[in-house]
């Protein structure tokens, strides 16, 4: 019996859950990962929790200490630091104790990585690049789509190139603003008019986002946004409903991406600001499904799927859109390639509402990761004429 138990347990897929990370969204990640760990199917998966602390160290946590994770995961400061070692066979990855195997016993092996971290240095292709170098399977978008998705301006350009609707904007850099302010203002007046939203291109959580009603307030908003990024979008303000869909890669590579029903975020503040997102418990209401007519619902799902394809996404993404209350038109706003995964987050909730329970969603994501890695690994890496 003992032997049998061992045999089944060794067959479990070992999932390294990466959480924390070196971004402003570290704490959100602790909540997302707690809920991923709680919902992963324990009969299929062995969980290896890896915390990335704010200094960037990878710490191998003990799953036994996280057996019943609460709402948020701890980062144990005295857990052994590990580094990722390149896979020797293109399948199994290894985490090597920084102080050497001799001091800590053996390396920790795993089969697939599930990054559950948000924001820069987590979701923007950097960690994904490291995982590519290590030649190990991982959940979610690869390097290209992750990097594109973190840059709101480049995502918009790709969507526009695919003929998808975006809100008119002007991209402003600090040098242009200090050198030729009049020319920038003239462009803004021509392309967007006022009011506008000023936002850093590579940020998140509404940090540095300002609604600017007249020209006189532009300078202060731009200066604040330049604290966070060297490229800032000045975007026409839309009288918007905020509509979101969750997307999964189709396991049939020839098929269209799978898209959920649309949900809606209804902020109780002037817009979906940092305060509305994180400081005010009643800062926003999530409506699932969104109260849309049949045509609008179909349009939202179609646009979400089209953005996923245009931005070369793999695995998963949440697509955020605006529905213009004045014209009824939809616009693509932004993409999140590692969306929030807390138990009240839109991404898992939208899938639940579309008939895919949380645990099954995680299983599908891991299957997609293993499958993609297999396909990529099979590609020729040498040219033999």
Ligand X SMILES: Nc1ncnc2c1ncn2[C@@H]1O[C@H](COP(=O)(O)OP(=O)(O)OP(=O)(O)O)[C@@H](O)[C@H]1O
Catalytic residue IDs: 25, 205, 278, 318, 320, 334, 336, 340
Q: Bridge partners of 248?
A: 258, 316
Q: Residue 363 interacts with ligand X (CB under 6 A)?
A: no
Cβ closer to ligand X: 80 or 119? 119
Q: Is 210 in the site for ligand X (CB under 6 A)?
A: no
Angle at 156 between CA 147 and CA 32, to 5 degrees: 50
Q: Which of 111, 124, 229, 235 binds ligand X (CB under 6 A)?
A: 235
Q: Give the strands of the sheet with 169-172, arranged side by side.
A: 169-172, 232-236, 196-200, 210-212
Q: How many beta carbons lie within 10 A of that of residue 205, not counting itself?
A: 17
C-beta of 303: minimal distance to ligand X in Å?
16
Size of the site for ligand X (CB under 6 A): 21
How far apart are alpha carbons 295 and 38 in whole angstroms? 37
Contact status: 206 vs ligand X (CB under 6 A): yes
Name the one range near ligand X by CB under 6 A: 63-71, 199-207, 254-262, 348-356: 199-207
Inter-axis angle of helices 143-150 and 126-133, to 10 degrees?
A: 170
| Minimum gap (Å) between residue 146 Cβ and ligand X | 13
Which region among 36-44, 235-243, 286-294, 298-306 touches ligand X (by CB under 6 A)?
235-243
Measured from the CB atom, the residue of 47 and 307 that comes closer to ligand X is 307
- Near ligand X by CB under 6 A: residue from 17, 84, 209, 258: 209
Tell which one of 203, 248, 316, 346 touches ligand X (CB under 6 A): 203
Distance CA 186, CA 21 (A): 40
Number of neighbouring beta carbons within 10 Å of residue 270: 8
Report if residue 170 touches ligand X, rule: CB under 6 A.
Answer: no
- Figure out which of the listed residues 45, 197, 226, 358 binds ligand X, where binding follows CB under 6 A: 197
Q: Does 191 participate in binding ligand X (rule CB under 6 A)? A: no
* Residue span binding ligand X (CB under 6 A) among the ranges 44-52, 58-66, 229-237, 374-382: 229-237
242 is a contact residue toward ligand X (CB under 6 A): yes
In the complex, the smallest distance separating the C-beta of residue 195 from ligand X, rounded to whole angstroms, is 8
Are the CB atoms for 13 and 111 separated by under 8 Å? Answer: yes
Residue 111 or 244: the one with the smaller Cβ distance to ligand X is 244
Query: Quick one: which of 63, 98, 121, 237 contacts ligand X (CB under 6 A)?
Result: 237
Q: Which stretch binds ligand X (CB under 6 A): 173-181, 213-221, 237-245, 288-296?
A: 237-245
Q: Binding residue for ligand X (CB under 6 A) from 28, 33, 139, 167?
A: 167
If binding is defined by CB under 6 A, does position 26 make contact with ligand X?
A: no
Interaction of residue 336 with ligand X, rule CB under 6 A: yes
330 binds ligand X (CB under 6 A): no
Stretch binding ligand X (CB under 6 A), from 14-22, 32-40, 204-212, 247-255: 204-212
Contacts of 324 (CB under 8 A, 6+ apart): 238, 239, 240, 330, 331
The tokens for 153 are 């301006």
Asked if 231 and 201 count as a contact pair (C-beta separation under 8 A), the reply is yes
Residues that bind ligand X (CB under 6 A): 167, 197, 199, 203-206, 209, 235-238, 240, 242, 267, 271-272, 320, 333-334, 336
């Amino acid at each position: 019996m003992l032997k049998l138990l061992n045999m089944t347990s060794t067959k479990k897929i070992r999932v390294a859950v990466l959480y924390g990370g070196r971004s402003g969204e570290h704490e959100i990640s602790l909540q997302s990962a707690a809920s991923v760990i709680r919902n992963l199917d324990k009969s299929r998966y062995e969980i290896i929790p890896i915390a990335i602390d704010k200094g960037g160290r990878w710490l191998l946590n003990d799953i036994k200490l996280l057996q019943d994770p609460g709402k948020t995961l701890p980062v144990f400061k005295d857990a052994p630091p590990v580094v990722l070692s390149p896979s020797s066979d293109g399948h199994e990855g290894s985490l090597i104790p920084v102080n050497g195997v001799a001091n800590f016993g053996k390396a920790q092996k795993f089969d697939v990585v599930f990054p559950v971290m948000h924001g820069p240095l987590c979701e923007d292709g950097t960690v994904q690049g490291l995982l590519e170098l290590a030649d190990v399977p991982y959940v979610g978008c690869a390097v290209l789509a992750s990097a594109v998705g973190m840059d709101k301006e480049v995502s918009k350009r790709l969507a526009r190139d695919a003929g998808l609707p975006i809100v008119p904007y002007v991209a402003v850099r600090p040098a242009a603003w200090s050198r030729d302010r009049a020319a920038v203002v003239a462009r803004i007046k021509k392309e967007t008019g006022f009011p506008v939203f000023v936002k850093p291109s590579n940020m998140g959580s509404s940090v540095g986002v300002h609604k600017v009603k007249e020209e006189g307030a532009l300078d202060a908003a731009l200066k604040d946004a330049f604290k966070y990024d060297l490229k800032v979008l000045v975007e026409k303000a839309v009288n918007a409903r905020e509509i979101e869909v969750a997307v999964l890669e189709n396991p049939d590579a020839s098929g269209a991406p799978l898209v959920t029903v649309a949900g809606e975020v209804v902020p109780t503040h002037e817009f979906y600001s940092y305060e509305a997102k994180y400081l005010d418990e009643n800062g926003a209401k999530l409506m699932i499904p969104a109260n849309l007519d049949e045509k609008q619902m179909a349009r939202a799902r179609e646009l979400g799927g089209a953005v996923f394809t245009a931005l070369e996404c793999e695995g998963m993404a949440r697509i955020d859109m605006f529905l213009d209350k004045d014209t009824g038109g939809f616009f693509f706003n932004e993409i999140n390639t590692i969306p929030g995964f807390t138990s009240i987050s839109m991404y898992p909730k939208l899938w639940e509402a579309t008939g895919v329970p949380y645990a099954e969603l995680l299983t599908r994501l891991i299957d997609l990761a293993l499958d993609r890695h297999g396909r990529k690994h099979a590609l020729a890496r040498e040219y033999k004429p």
